Structure 1
Amino acid sequence: MVPSHDAPSLGRCGSPLAARREDASGFFQFPALNTSVAQARSRVLAQLREWGVDEVACDDARLVVSELFTNAVRHTDSERVSCQLRVDEAHVRIEVADEGHAPTEPRARRSGADEESGRGLLLVGVLSRAWGVRPDTGGRGRVVWAELPHGRPAH
């Protein structure tokens, strides 16, 4: 899927359940270390399960967060990486923000069969309804976001 840089943010919608999810603690940050990737995956899984998000979407969100956190840790000069989660009736929105600037903007690329990395954003594109990149509101760094569907029956 081609990233959409101006897709709308998932804010509050009319239902009390969505408002309760939006008000829950959906923000966390960790040091920009490789060990933080596993912590981010665990935190996302716990939060989405608390909100009652289906297991298929939880698994997809864990994978997306893992890819986005890994990219922020490996490819920026950040000291901390943060994550914001939002949920409405049909989507999970994940935003991973870094503090540093990388030489290029994140984009999906094709990797050779022998390469061990480089497929993460292709995976994010497959699992997401949309994804994109925007500058961080603080003026330093950027936010890579993805919107995933949820509410699907388990396989």
Structure 2
Amino acid sequence: MQFTSTPRGARLARRFVSHRLDEWGHPYDSTANETLTLIAAELAANAIRHGHVPGRDFHVRLVQCTDETTTILRIEVADTRTERRPSLETPAPPAAEEEAGRGLLLVSRVADRWGVAPRVGAPGKSVWAALELNSQ
């Protein structure tokens, strides 16, 4: 899904993720929904703040893969800014007085895996995160 690189676009992306997860059987108040919605909010905010190119939108892709024992929920947020790639090392916490710099730290703590990949079919990058849920 495509969203404008604005605060409104980030809010709509977060709602899209939460609604889709609810449709897939992960209710709004479930840990999976709340966690992936939080990740979506952080990645969308980063795409707007650090990956914005004037006139270009960001894209969100949400995937669910299930087998007999595990469900994997994966979110990808793509922007068109190729030269600004986050480091894959666990981010250091910012100083207490800093107002920013906690987004990827938070993602690295709540996601089971996360990373950065070149954007397929267009310039830019895709930052992704995945949650693994044990099937019951």
TM-score (norm 2): 0.84
After superposition, the Cα gap between the structure-2 partners of 1:152 and 1:38, relative to the gap in structure 1 and judged at 3 Å, is farther
33, 40, 64: which one aligns with 1:87: 64
Contact kept, 8 Å, 1:128 with 1:147, in 2: the verdict is: yes
How many percent identity over aligned positions?
36
The number of equivalent residue pairs is: 125
Relative to total residues, which structure has the larger strand share, 1 or 2?
2
Query: Runs of 5+ in structure 2 lacking a partner?
Result: none
| 1:60–1:127 Cα contact (<8 Å) kept | yes
Asked whether 1:105 is paired with 2:85, we answer yes
The residue aligned with 1:32 is 5
Which letter maps to 1:39?
L
Measure how far apart 1:138 and its partner are. Answer: 2.1
Verify: 1:127 aligned to 2:110, yes or no: yes
CA–CA separation in structure 1 for the residues paired with 2:135 and 2:9: 29
Distance 2:61 2:46 in 1: 16
Q: State which of 37, 46, 49 in structure 2 corresponds to 1:74.
A: 49
Q: Is the 1:56–1:150 contact (alpha carbons within 8 Å) kept by the matching residues of 2? A: no
Distance in 1 separating the partners of 2:123 and 2:65: 28
1:44 to 14, 17, 27: 17
TM-score (ref. length: structure 1):
0.74
Residue 129 of structure 2: aligned partner: 146
Amino acid across the alignment from 2:38: L
Residues 85 and 125, structure 2, Cα contact 8 Å, conserved in 1: no
Amino acid at match of 1:69: A
> Does the 8 Å contact 1:101/1:140 carry over to 2?
yes
Shift of 1:48: 0.5
The higher relative CO (CA closer than 8 Å, separation ≥ 6) is in 1
